Amino acid sequence: MIRLDKVCRLFQVGDQEVRALDDVSLTIENGDYLSVMGPSGSGKSTLLNVIGLLDRPTTGTYTLDDRETTALDDDELAHTRARRIGFIFQSFHLVARMTAFENVELPLVLAGVAPAERKPRVTKLLDDLSLTDRSHHRPDQLSGGQRQRVAIARAMVMQPTVLLADEPTGNLDHASGAEVLAAIEQLNAQGITLIVVTHDNEIGNRARRHLRMRDGKVVDDYVGSRP
Amino acid sequence: MLLLAMGIGVAAVIVLTGLGEAARRYVAGEFQVLGTRLIIVLPGRSETTGIQPGLFSGETPRDLTLADAEALRAIPDVERVAPLIVGAAPISARGREREVPVLGTTADYLAVQNTEVTEGQFLPPGEIDVDRAVCVIGANVRRELFGDGPAIGESLRVGERRFRVVGVLASQGRSIGFDTQELVIVPVSAAQALFNSESLFRVLVQTRSRESMLRVRDQALAVIKARHQGEEDVTVITQDALLATFDRIFTALTLTLAGIASISLAVAGILVMNVMLVAVSQRTAEVGLLKALGATRRQVLSLFLAEALLLSLAGAVVGIAVGEAASWFVRKLYPALPLAAPSWAYVLAVITALVSGVVFGMLPARRAARLDPVEALSGRK
């Protein structure tokens, strides 16, 4: 479960203070499917970064699975991030000189999982995402949709409880985007908490719960389709 | 570029220390030819008179004589005594003539100098003042005067006298400043007659053991002093002292060269830093990704440090290869110079390379480790 309590995140831009998150309180149940929408600069990426433990709130508290995270040090944050949270990015962020297999394997290497144990886990995930025949290709030999599926596999390989997707279909054509969405929604159906940040209403509306943000505040929060 | 810099640095260390070491060994080798357990007595006080090989020390108050040499032989623990007279004289045989250094000595010279003869035999042992007309010649002299024909038993004119060749010296390089290949050795009394001089160039004294060297040295000084009316007008040198001095000088030289070379390694280290800084800024997004995937600071740090280390190591390997190749080349060009770096130079070079790699890789690695993942991922920094 994710619980944000009066979270603010301030940035200093020049001599101006920007409130990227302004007093956000939010509770997200495990297994929920949430979309975050809003114009550029409304704070949705910052919200995602805070939830993903990449960024710390300036004030307020963030509790992830009954654990207060504000007090954790950098290494504990990295550790928690590795085990509980998977990221998918708009521009994929695959390591260009590694094969698909090695990219997916990377979090396991960082977590110190033994090589013998890594192989079956990576193989199974690539298989689930129908990437088996692509496992020894490098990213530049893959299509956009395939790259994003590799990224999904990499996000899932540590079996996180939360999957965060920042514009996951932003760089993809419609068909590949649909494939990718289907893949992550499938994961959500298996119980993972899915949070998707998007500009696209069509994609946003597929979620169960919808957040709309503006100027760092959550201005709308509803479940199901808007009446 | 980086490999090149590291490689040149390491190669410089190896070649330069190799040079220093070669010079040291060259000199040590020269002295080794003199033989061991050796004490050299030369006329004149070392503080007042410089000694040049081949130059008679006429300016000393009293000459060193054969009688002095005989007196030295009486000192306990002295095994052999070889008096030396040195001069240059024209020699001729079969109508060929040339000018060579002529050495007058006794049969003991062979053992004292650790020399050997390849043909015939050395000067026959016997009374020191019996003037026998025999001589031993160097390998070059033999070849130039007698060619491929027989030399033993042939007649050789040295100055105004005729000698019979009884032996040919083994080529052994240099000995107390003379090339043994270019030498003619005659009995000491013959040399005295030849150069019309009683005075000895030096007296080589070999002791029975290394331990007795110091004692023999002091006694030798005392004996000569007593014979020269209380005047201490000779210099006594032990080979050990000479060797130790040269050893110190050349070790210092080698270390200096190694130091200079190490500076070039440090320069290479700065290059490592540059390359790593570029690598970090080029891979900012990758660092951000690693952090998002749960890499700790320590992991990012060690990743970049490992990279710097590997680069340095590769550089070191290249450097050793280049250094070895250069050494080999120099050895081919100048076989007399035994150019080979001591093993500590290799260790030093590799360690310096790795240390400079780590030290200068540290800053970029820390910068990578400190990157804020959010900014790194978005490429804002």
Instruction: Name the residue among B64, B37, B69, B39 with its Cα closest to residue B49.
Output: B64
A89/B377 Cβ within 8 A: yes
E-strand ranges in chain A read: 2-13, 16-28, 33-37, 59-64, 67-68, 85-88, 162-166, 193-197, 209-214, 217-223
- pLDDT at residue A55 is higher than 80: yes
Q: Which of A52, A74, A106 sits opposite B297 (nearest CB)?
A: A74
Asked whether B56 and B196 are in contact (CB, 8 A), the reply is no
- Six token digits for residue A85: 């949270």
**Both B14 and B55 in a single domain?**
no
In the DSSP assignment, the letter for residue B182 is G
**Residue in chain A lying closest to B286 (CA):** A95
φ, ψ of residue A48 to 5 degrees: the values are -65, -40
Contact B294 A111 (CB under 8 A): yes
Residue B81 in domain = yes
Closest-CA distance, B264 to chain A, in angstroms, reads 33
Q: Are residues B260 and B287 in the same domain?
A: yes
Domain boundary among B232, B256, B277: B232
Nearest to B290 among A55, A74, A110 (CB): A110
Q: B294–A87: do the CB atoms touch at under 8 Å?
A: no
- Count the neighbouring beta carbons within 10 Å of the beta carbon of residue B266: 15
- CATH number of A190's domain: 3.40.50.300
| B81, B201: one domain | yes
What pLDDT sits at residue B59?
47
If you measure CA to CA, which chain A residue comes closest to B302? A110
For residue A105, the chain B residue with the least C-alpha distance is B293
Instruction: Give the model's pLDDT for residue B320.
Output: 84
Inter-chain CB proximity A81 and B292 less than 8 Å: yes
Q: How much is the mean pLDDT over chain A?
A: 88
Within 8 A by CB and 6+ apart from B333, the residues are none
Pairwise CB contact (< 8 Å): A107 & B294 = yes
* B178 and B209 housed in the same domain: yes
Residues B194 and B82 in one domain: yes
pLDDT score, position A91:
84
Contact: A81, B285; criterion CB under 8 Å: no
Domain-located, residue B37: no
Chain A residues in contact with chain B using a Cβ-Cβ cutoff of 8 Å? 49, 52, 54-55, 74-75, 78-79, 81-83, 87, 89, 93, 95, 106-107, 110-111, 154, 158
Q: What pLDDT is stored for residue A196 in this prediction?
A: 93
Q: Which residue of B lies nearest to A78 if distances are taken between CA atoms? A: B294
Tokens of B239: 């080979």
Q: Closest to B297 (Cβ–Cβ): which among A49, A75, A93?
A: A75
A221 φ, ψ (degrees, to nearest 5): -150, 105
- Contact assignment for B289 to A78 by CB distance below 8 Å: no
Q: Please state, in angstroms and rounded to a whole number, the distance separating the CA atoms of residues B84 and B104.
A: 6
Neighboring chain A residues of B297 at a CB cutoff of 8 Å: 74-75, 78
Asked if the model's pLDDT at residue A157 lies above 80, the reply is yes
B96 sits in which H/E element: strand B96-105
Q: What is the mean pLDDT of residues A127-132?
A: 87
What is the extent of the structural domain holding A160?
2-223
What does DSSP assign to residue A200? -
CB atoms B294 and A75 under 8 Å: no
Q: Give A156's contacts in chain B (Cβ within 8 Å).
A: none
Query: What pLDDT sits at residue B58?
Result: 46
H or E segment to which residue B187 belongs: strand B184-187
* Residue A30: both structure tokens together: 């495990």
> Has residue B276 been placed in a domain?
yes
Low-confidence ranges of chain B (pLDDT < 70): 1-3, 28-36, 45-61, 127-130, 172-177, 210, 239-240, 242-243, 336-340, 378-381
* Per-residue confidence (pLDDT) for residue B110, from 0 to 100: 81
Contact: B296, A93; criterion CB under 8 Å = no
**B293 to A106: CB separation less than 8 angstroms, yes or no:** yes
Terminal Cα-to-Cα distance of chain B (whole angstroms): 26
Residue A110 and residue B374: Cβ atoms within 8 Å?
A: no
Find the closest chain B residue to A49 by CA distance: B374
**Dist. CA B22–CA B11, nearest whole Å:** 16
Residue B209 phi, psi (nearest 5): -145, 160
For residue A82, the chain B residues in CB contact (below 8 A) are 293-295
b/e for A198-215, b at 16 or more Cβ within 10 A? Answer: beeeebbeebebbbbbbe
B237 in a structural domain? no
Find out whether B330 and B337 touch, Cβ atoms under 8 Å: yes
Give the closest-approach CA distance of A226 to chain B in angstroms: 33
Name the nearest CA neighbour of B368 among B262, B288, B259: B288
* Buried/exposed B213-242: b ≥16 CB within 10 Å, e otherwise: beebbebbbebbeebbeeeebbbbbbbbee
Can you say whether residue A196 is alpha, beta or left, with left for phi > 0 and alpha for psi between -120 and 50 degrees? beta
User: What pLDDT score does B2 carry?
Assistant: 62
Interface of B with A (CB under 8 A): 285-286, 288-299, 373-374, 377
Helix ranges (DSSP H) in B42-149 = 66-73, 109-112, 139-146
Give the sheet arrangement for strand A67-68, strand by strand.
Answer: A16-28, A2-13, A59-64, A67-68
The order of strands in the sheet holding A33-37 is A85-88, A162-166, A193-197, A33-37, A209-214, A217-223
- How many angstroms separate the CA atoms of B200 and B42, rounded? 8
Q: Quick one: pLDDT at residue B212?
A: 78
> pLDDT-derived band of residue A195, with 50, 70 and 90 as boundaries?
very high
- Is residue B297 in a domain? yes
| pLDDT surpassing 50 at residue A5 | yes
Q: Do A107 and B373 touch (CB under 8 A)?
A: no
Q: What are phi and psi of A172, to 5 degrees?
A: -115, 155
Q: Is the pLDDT of residue A227 over 70?
A: no
Interatomic CA distance for residues B332 and B326, integer angstroms: 10
Instruction: Report ipTM (2 d.p.).
Output: 0.79
Tokens representing B289 are: 């990704």
* Site from B282, B289, B290, B293 to mutate, A interface, most A CB atoms within 10 angstroms: B293
Do B215 and B358 reside in the same domain of the chain?
A: no
Residue B173 forms part of a structural domain: yes
Same domain, B122 and B64: yes
* Burial status of residue A175 (CB atoms within 10 A of its CB: 0-12, 13-18, 19 or more): exposed
Residue B148 domain boundaries:
45-232
Q: Which of A89, A93, A110 sits opposite B299 (nearest CB)?
A: A110
Distance between CA atoms of residues B198 and B201, nearest Å: 10
How many domains does one find in chain A? 1
Does any domain span residue B125? yes
Q: Are residues B179 and B303 in the same domain?
A: no
The alpha-carbon radius of gyration of chain B (Å, integer) is 32
| CA A184/CA A177 separation, integer angstroms | 11
Neighboring chain B residues of A55 at a CB cutoff of 8 Å: 374
- Under a CB-based contact definition with an 8 Å cutoff, are residues A93 and A166 in contact? no
Nearest to A54 among B285, B296, B373 (CB): B373
The more confident residue out of A136 and B269 is: A136
Q: Which of B285, B286, B293 sits opposite A107 (nearest CB)?
A: B293
| Continuous H helices in chain B | 2-33, 66-73, 109-112, 139-146, 188-195, 213-227, 239-282, 284-292, 297-333, 343-370, 373-378
Minimal CA–CA distance to A53: which of A68, A34, A37?
Answer: A68
Say how far apart CA B38 and CA B239 lie, in whole Å: 6
To which H or E segment does residue A106 belong? helix A100-110
- When divided into structural domains, chain B yields a total of 2
B253 and B124 housed in the same domain: no
> What's the CA gap between A133 and A130, in Å, rounded?
8
B226 and B84 within one domain: yes
Rounded to the nearest angstrom, the gap between the alpha carbon of residue B243 and the centroid of all alpha carbons in its chain is 10
Contacts of A1 (CB under 8 A, 6+ apart): A27, A28, A29, A30, A63, A64, A65, A66
pLDDT tens, residue by residue, B299-310: 888 888 888 888
pLDDT of residue B173: 58
Strands B155-158, B161-169: pairing is antiparallel
What is the rounded distance in angstroms from the CA atom of residue B114 to the CA atom of residue B174?
Answer: 12
Would you say residue B255 lies in a domain? yes
Decide if A110 and B291 are in contact by the 8 Å CB cutoff: no
